[in-house]
Amino acid sequence: MSGGREVDWVYVDDVVNGLIELALAGPDNGDYVDLGSGQLFTTGEIARRICDSAGTGVAPVLGAVPDRAMEQVRKADVEATREIIGWQPAIDINEGLRRTYDWYRSLKP
């Protein structure tokens, strides 16, 4: 991958909480909601942040695998979701990456 693909990254706990809110207060009129952060970050930026978190001085190698064709960029409309079900993400990208990194580090090999 080139590292240039933009993705709306959202922490898993935020998604779980959003699904709970949707189940409890979801629209009954056919409206849909977006569960996301409402921010776009490239895959390369996320890879660099993960490598920085590891503190090894290793940089990601981008471009070794071709990008997937026709991948769509989607950014969550968190304001509309907040208005419809009262939910918005609580964990920012840096905290979510830190928690994810720490979780993987805690796994026993």
* CATH 3.40.50, domain 6-106, yes or no: no
Q: What is the mean pLDDT of residues 78-91?
A: 95
CA pair distance 100, 94, nearest whole angstrom: 10
pLDDT at 66 over 90: no
pLDDT at 68 over 80: yes
Instruction: Give the Cβ contact number of residue 19 at 10 Å.
Output: 13
Q: What is the mean pLDDT of residues 61-68?
A: 87
Q: What DSSP character marks residue 67? A: P
> Where along the chain do its domains lie?
6-106
CA pair distance 76, 9, nearest whole angstrom: 10
Report the share of the chain in percent with pLDDT over 70: 100
Which amino acid belongs to residue 53? Answer: S
List the alpha helices (DSSP H) in 1-68: 12-25, 43-54
> What pLDDT was estimated at residue 29?
75
